[in-house]
Amino acid sequence: MSNKVEIFCNNNLIDSFNDFLLTKSIENFCNSFTFTITNKMANDILLAEGSKIKISIAGENEFNGLVESINHSQTSNSHLVTVLGRDKTGELIDSYIIAKQYKQNDFLKLLRLILDDNGFQSIKITSDIKILPKLVGKSFIPEKEEKIFSFIDRLAKQLRIILITDSDGDILITREGADLAVGGLDASNNIISTSLDIDTSESYKYIKIIGNIKTDQTKKRLTQGKEIIDERSQTNKRLIVNIGNNTNRQNIESIANWYMAVKRGKGARYNATVQGFLTNNTTGLLWQVNTTVMLRDSKKGINGLFLIQSVNYSQSLEGSKTDLILCNIGSFTDFDNNPLLSSQVSKFFKILTGDLASKYR
């Protein structure tokens, strides 16, 4: 049961498949799948573009989405069909937003307004953050020819929250590292293979954020900027970002710190492949994206708490495995100055958080 994968197409169970892959990632916002079946099976389940796909792993519902691509490959003795698709939220990445002024500074209500106005009433929104801070400003206008996810993600960054797609295919508003994985990773014990990638090409020493700030005297908005310096950076490169939105000096500094943390954190990635889908056979819990996990790899000088940014569940004739991509905590939000975290939680992360690139800094 722990490695059992069930795929349903239009509520019809696919009895057998040659291979299967389900990818969940913070970076990609929506989840994606691919599987290969025989042409006979494709006909039996009435496979078509837009067919509804449901995937469960180890008895847990993990995906609800739609078929986007169907590829046939045929030889003299076989006819296989490869099926690919994403959550319904994937259309928010592709679709251009209706250009208008959206008047709402409650992010949850604003997100609902944007989805409804752009024809996505079927997508639900939930939040595991009890109290969301208000956006700075009362109205927001998309950039020219901006896509829906680009717009809502830009606003989410101001609040230091992230948007991901849940197992039902709907939007979940959450913070980075919302849960702690049960069980850890040890290169000398439960990891099949590992690799570590260090890349400083996206690192910047100087980061300047530009936004529109209202003055108290005239109530006019002036374009002002805030520049911060990353003392840990080994480069002299400068990044300038014009957020374009109405804001204030405190928020502009907060966004600048966020960019510094993210650019620094994304310079290191740890890839680990483990057997099966579970963090621990006793608990029966799956490896999940956006969870923090203890990682030990003495050969690479790594020992600490890290964030699982991506999970690939795969199954084939060779068996079941999970490919994990880990990154430094703070790769998606600024943990040092995050108002969504209590002082106790911040202290916990500060003590245990590791640095994948510490050996090379």
228, with CB counted inside 10 A (0-12, 13-18, 19+), is: middle
Q: Which residue has the tokens 């002002």?
A: 224
**pLDDT at res. 38:** 95
| Confidence at residue 64, expressed as pLDDT on a 0 to 100 scale | 96
Same domain (yes/no): 249, 326:
no
194 with 273, same domain?
yes
| Separation CA 289–CA 300 (nearest Å) | 23
Query: 10 Å Cβ neighbour count for 251?
Result: 22
Query: 168 forms bridges with which residues in the sheet?
Result: none
Q: CB-side exposure of 127: number of CA atoms within 13 Å? A: 17
Q: What is the DSSP letter of 138?
A: S
Domain that residue 237 falls in:
206-265
Phi–psi pair at 274, nearest 5 degrees = -125, 155
Residues 164 and 284 in one domain: no
Residue 255 is predicted with a pLDDT of 75
The verdict on 279 and 189 lying in the same domain is yes
Whether residue 194 contacts residue 297, with contact meaning beta carbons closer than 8 Å, is answered with yes
The CATH number of the domain holding residue 119 is 3.55.50.10
Domain end position, chosen among 35, 63, 87 = 87
* Beta strand pairing call for 32-38 and 79-87: antiparallel
- Examine the domain organization and report whether 27 and 115 are in the same domain: no
- Among 87, 112, 146, the domain-final residue is 87
| Residue 122: both structure tokens together | 């079927």
Same domain, yes or no: 217 and 304: no
Same structural domain for residues 257 and 158? no
Residue 335, domain CATH: 2.30.300.10
Which pLDDT score, from 0 to 100, does residue 247 have? 61
Of 226, 242, 265, the one marking the end of a domain is 265
Burial of 115 (C-beta count, 10 Å sphere; 0-12/13-18/19+): buried
Q: Is 29 helix (H, G, I), strand (E, B) or coil?
A: coil
Query: Domain check: are 255 and 113 in the same one?
Result: no
User: How many alpha carbons fall within 13 Å on the CB side of residue 138?
Assistant: 1
Per-residue pLDDT of the chain (361 residues; tens, 9 = 90+): 578 999 999 999 998 999 999 999 998 999 999 999 999 999 999 999 999 999 999 999 999 999 999 999 999 999 999 999 999 999 999 999 999 999 999 999 999 999 999 999 999 999 999 888 898 888 889 988 999 999 999 889 888 889 999 999 999 999 888 787 877 899 877 799 999 998 877 778 888 877 766 555 555 555 667 787 877 777 888 888 776 655 666 667 777 777 777 777 678 899 999 999 998 777 778 999 999 999 999 999 999 999 999 999 999 988 999 999 999 888 887 655 555 555 555 666 667 888 888 777 6
User: Alpha carbon 294 to chain centroid distance?
Assistant: 19
Verify that 253 and 116 share a domain, yes or no: no
Rounded to 10°, the helix 148-158/249-265 angle is: 110
Residues 141 and 246 in one domain: no
Tell me how many domains the chain contains: 4
Residues 278 and 290 in one domain: yes
Q: What is the pTM of this model?
A: 0.87
Structure tokens at 61: 């519902």
